[in-house]
Each structure stands twice: as structure tokens, then as C-alpha cells.
């Protein structure tokens, strides 16, 4: 049954039963030691802000959809509320992807802050308590994507995000980003002089995320920690041995904490330095294969130089829509996946459309998935999404 097809039925039949019940037990109490393990035989399908191509980004429904569609990892950005609670949200203002403008009670909350050298005006999550943030609802970022879920889902906390992964019917990893650490540490203060990075690692440890890449502990609770800020990655290397990924922005954008240029942080010398702290890099894909007039140019040598140092490469962001696809791919997202997986040879892909990457990989490099049981669990998960949507539609 298609997702769209069964929704109306579920909404009609289950409204009464589920309207008042919180959806996730916190902390997760479900101990299921027989779950299907993480696949490690092919590049990772990293669900960028959940299946945000379909459902508003970084919401519980977007993450559950991504899990149902085959994500290896669910990806998120971590920021902080004013009262120091870590939340899943991408932008440093709420303006673009929430209904904050409709909330008259918050009209006086607009601020201007210097963010990485630019005066930026808007509603900043760091000026709202968690209780206030929970009153907002998330909207789809792109107008050309499905708008039907706008206004339904709240912002979730880092802990709620972790619970979604731990409650999945198979082992699903998490891929949280230490987002805007300079801004957060300037504006949010925690007791005992703790930093944003300390709270971030504490939260992971609370749920027993630990262990180096591919260790037994890691395979039970797979995790990559990502950041654009090298000082955050170096700092937390004393706090956790979990694998870390160094994100690399466009060639024109300096690092937010150390003000280093793209050329400096992708030099051989710098890769030799950072490889002591990270297991891989997460570059924007158009810097690995430059683009001119919407056509691909010859690839740079960054993937080869990273691989020569045993660093994985997880580029971002893959999006199915033609407005994002370069002409070389002839409006066919599978061609793009094929190019990056088989010609460039990357180790993981951040995608807005976990479902299509999963189908492509299942066709071209299937993981032996021998269980009808896991299929039935996947459809049970779709039922859960239906419940969740009906709760918000009617709540």
C-alpha cells in the first residue's frame, strides 16, 4: 500500500485512540538485540534531515519515513534553545522553515546578531526556551516540494531524535552535526562552564553511543559526529572516541571558527593533521567535481588524496529534482547516484531522498536481506507515521 493511500484510512480510524498519547517513550526502553545489523558492504545512505524531500525537515515524521525507506543513518543539525536544551534544527533562525511569524506572542523576539561576520536579523532559536520552541510547527523549505505536511510537526530535541533511531526495527545509525558552535557558545551558557560541545557529547554518552569506527559498540549504535568547525572536532576528541567527520564548505567560505580558507583545509598538510581526529571528510559535492554552466568539469584530486590517507568521503547533498541535477545527468537522479558511487567512488551520500538512493543501491549492489520479518516491521513503521500525522492533524 502506498504511503499516500493508507493515510486517510489510518487518520479516520485511529484519531481517537492516539490523540493524547506521547509518541516516543523517553528514554528509549526498547531492548531488541536481534535487530538486523547496519549494512557495511556498500556506501552509506545518509538521510539528510530525514526524508526531507517528502516531509518537513528534521521532524520525527521525516526521520521515521527515512528509516522506513532504508536509511543507514539519519542525519541532523544540533542547535540549542535559550535554556540549554539541544534541539534538531538546521538554520540559525526560525524564519524560513517554521510558522514563527504567525505567533503574535513572539513578535518582539526578533534580534540582530553577528553570525560569522554578518549582521543577521531574525527569530533565533537561542532566544526561545524549549517550551516556546515546541509551540512552533515546521514547514517544508522548498515551495516546489509537497506542502501538505506544513504546520503539523514540532521541532524535536536531540534526545527525541536519538530515541527514533534506537526504536527503529533494525539498526539505524545517527549522524548529528555540532552546528554553529561559535554562535551557540557565545549566547547559551550551561552550568559549571560547560560548552555546547560538552553537552553534545554528554547526550550521546547518556544513550551509550561510544566506540571507534566498526568496533562492537559502534556497530550496536552507529554514530558519526560531524562539524564544519575543526576546533570543535579536536576538542571533543578528548571526550569521545566515536568517529568524526570534518565538513568542508564551498571554496569561497572560510571555516567559522578558525577562519581558514578552503584551500588551506584541503591541503595535504592539513589533511595529514586532521586525519588524527576524524575518519572522513564531508565536502560539498560541487567542490569535488566543479560545475560550469550546469555541466560537470573534471573532478579534483580531493577524493583521491582523502582515500590515500584512509579518510572516507561523504559528500552532500543529493536531491532528485531537476532544479538541482546537473545537465550531465539528463534529469535522472539514478544517473547522478551511479556517477558518484561508481565513477567517483564515495563512501556515503547525504540525500534528501533516501528512498530513491536505497532503491538504486538495492538494484545495483543488494545487501542480502533475507527476512520478510524486516519488511513487515517496515510497514509497521509506516503505520506509526500515519498515527503521528493524524495526531498533529487533529491535535
Tell how many helices (H) and how many strands (E) occur in the chain: 15, 13
Segment interacting with ligand NAG (CB under 6 A) among 46-54, 152-160, 233-241, 243-251:
233-241
The least distance separating ligand NAG from the CB of residue 276, rounded to whole angstroms, comes to: 12
> Across the strands, what pairs with 86?
80
The whole-angstrom separation of Cα 311 and Cα 238 is 20
For ligand NAG, which residue of 2, 119, 192, 323 counts as binding (CB under 6 A)? 119
For ligand NAG, which residue of 3, 35, 83, 150 counts as binding (CB under 6 A)? 35
The whole-angstrom separation of Cα 107 and Cα 100 is 8
Contact 101, 94 (CB under 8 A): no
Strands (DSSP E) contained in the chain are 44-47, 73-80, 86-88, 111-115, 118-122, 173-178, 225-227, 244-248, 280-283, 291-292, 295-296, 312-313, 348-351
**Which is nearer to ligand NAG, 13 or 374 (by Cβ)?**
374
- Asked if 368 touches ligand NAG (CB under 6 A), the answer is yes
The whole-angstrom separation of Cα 48 and Cα 357 is 12
Listing DSSP states for 132-175 in one string gives HHTT--B--S-TTS--TTTTTB---BHHHHHHHHHTSSB--EEE
The whole-angstrom separation of Cα 375 and Cα 373 is 5
For ligand NAG, which residue of 34, 41, 294, 323 counts as binding (CB under 6 A)? 34
For ligand NAG, which residue of 28, 36, 139, 186 counts as binding (CB under 6 A)? 36
Q: Which residues of 180-217 are buried (b: 16+ CB within 10 A; e: fewer)?
A: bbebbbebbeeeeeebbbebbbebbeebebbbebeeee
Read off φ and ψ for residue 310, nearest 5 degrees: 65, 30
For ligand NAG, which residue of 5, 22, 117, 193 counts as binding (CB under 6 A)? 117
- Asked if 383 touches ligand NAG (CB under 6 A), the answer is no
- Asked if 32 touches ligand NAG (CB under 6 A), the answer is yes
The least distance separating ligand NAG from the CB of residue 93, rounded to whole angstroms, comes to: 16
- Asked if 307 touches ligand NAG (CB under 6 A), the answer is no
For ligand NAG, which residue of 107, 373, 379, 395 counts as binding (CB under 6 A)? 373
The least distance separating ligand NAG from the CB of residue 39, rounded to whole angstroms, comes to: 13
**Which is nearer to ligand NAG, 84 or 254 (by Cβ)?**
254
Pure H helices in 142-279: 158-166, 181-187, 196-206, 216-220, 230-236, 262-265, 268-274
- Asked if 170 touches ligand NAG (CB under 6 A), the answer is yes
The least distance separating ligand NAG from the CB of residue 70, rounded to whole angstroms, comes to: 13
**Which is nearer to ligand NAG, 192 or 370 (by Cβ)?**
370
**Which is nearer to ligand NAG, 60 or 171 (by Cβ)?**
171
Residue 8 is inside which H or E element, if any?
Answer: helix 3-18
- Asked if 48 touches ligand NAG (CB under 6 A), the answer is no
The least distance separating ligand NAG from the CB of residue 180, rounded to whole angstroms, comes to: 15
CA distances in angstroms from 305 to 262, 274, 288, 315, listed in the order given? 15, 13, 11, 15
**Which is nearer to ligand NAG, 214 or 253 (by Cβ)?**
253
The whole-angstrom separation of Cα 172 and Cα 194 is 29
Contact 180, 44 (CB under 8 A): no
For ligand NAG, which residue of 234, 265, 289, 387 counts as binding (CB under 6 A)? 234
- Asked if 370 touches ligand NAG (CB under 6 A), the answer is yes
The least distance separating ligand NAG from the CB of residue 327, rounded to whole angstroms, comes to: 34
**Which is nearer to ligand NAG, 112 or 331 (by Cβ)?**
112
**Which is nearer to ligand NAG, 85 or 172 (by Cβ)?**
172
Pull the grid cell for residue 242: 566515536
Residues that bind ligand NAG (CB under 6 A): 32, 34-36, 114, 117, 119, 169-170, 234-235, 238, 254, 259, 368, 370-371, 373-374, 377
Amino acid at each position: 500500500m502506498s504511503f499516500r493511500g493508507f493515510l486517510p484510512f489510518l487518520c479516520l480510524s485511529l484519531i481517537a485512540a492516539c490523540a493524547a498519547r506521547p509518541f516516543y517513550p523517553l528514554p528509549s526502553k526498547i531492548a531488541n538485540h536481534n535487530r538486523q545489523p547496519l549494512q557495511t558492504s556498500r556506501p552509506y545512505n545518509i538521510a539528510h534531515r530525514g526524508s526531507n524531500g517528502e516531509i518537513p525537515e528534521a521532524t520525527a515524521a521525516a526521520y521515521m519515513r527515512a528509516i522506513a525507506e532504508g536509511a543507514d543513518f539519519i542525519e541532523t543539525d544540533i542547535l540549542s534553545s535559550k535554556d540549554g536544551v539541544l534541539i534538531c534544527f538546521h538554520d540559525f533562525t526560525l524564519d524560513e522553515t517554521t510558522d514563527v511569524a504567525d505567533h503574535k506572542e513572539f513578535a518582539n523576539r526578533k534580534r540582530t546578531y553577528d553570525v560569522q561576520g554578518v549582521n543577521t536579523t531574525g527569530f533565533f532559536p537561542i532566544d526561545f526556551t524549549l517550551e516556546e520552541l515546541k509551540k512552533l510547527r515546521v514547514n517544508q523549505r522548498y515551495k516546489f516540494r509537497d506542502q501538505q505536511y506544513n504546520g503539523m510537526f514540532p521541532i524535536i530535541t536531540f534526545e527525541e531524535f536519538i530515541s527514533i533511531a534506537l526504536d527503529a526495527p533494525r539498526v539505524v545509525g545517527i549522524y548529528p552535526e555540532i552546528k554553529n558552535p561559535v554562535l551557540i557558545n557565545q549566547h547559551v551558557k550551561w552550568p559549571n562552564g560547560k560548552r555546547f560541545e560538552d553537552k553534545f557529547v554528554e547526550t550521546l554518552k547518556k544513550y551509550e553511543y561510544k566506540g571507534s569506527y566498526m568496533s562492537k559498540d559502534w556497530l550496536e549504535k552507529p554514530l558519526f559526529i560531524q562539524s564544519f568547525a575543526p576546533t570543535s572536532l579536536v576538542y571533543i576528541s578528548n571526550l569521545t572516541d566515536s568517529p568524526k567527520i570534518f565538513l568542508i564548505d564551498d571554496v569561497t567560505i572560510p571555516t567559522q571558527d578558525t577562519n581558514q580558507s578552503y584551500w588551506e583545509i584541503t591541503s595535504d598538510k592539513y589533511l595529514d593533521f586532521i586525519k588524527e581526529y576524524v575518519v572522513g571528510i564531508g565536502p560539498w559535492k560541487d567542490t569535488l567535481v566543479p560545475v560550469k554552466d550546469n555541466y560537470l568539469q573534471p573532478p579534483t584530486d580531493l577524493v583521491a588524496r582523502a582515500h590515500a590517507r584512509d579518510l572516507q568521503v561523504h559528500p552532500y547533498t543529493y536531491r532528485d529534482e531537476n532544479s538541482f541535477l546537473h545537465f550531465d545527468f539528463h534529469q535522472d537522479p539514478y544517473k547522478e547516484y551511479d556517477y558518484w558511487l561508481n565513477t567517483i567512488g564515495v563512501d556515503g551520500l547525504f540525500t534528501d531522498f533516501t528512498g530513491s538512493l536505497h532503491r538504486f543501491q538495492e538494484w545495483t549492489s543488494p545487501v542480502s536481506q533475507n527476512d520478510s520479518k524486516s519488511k513487515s516491521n517496515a510497514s509497521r513503521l509506516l503505520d506509526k507515521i500515519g498515527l503521528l500525522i493524524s495526531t498533529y492533524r487533529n491535535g
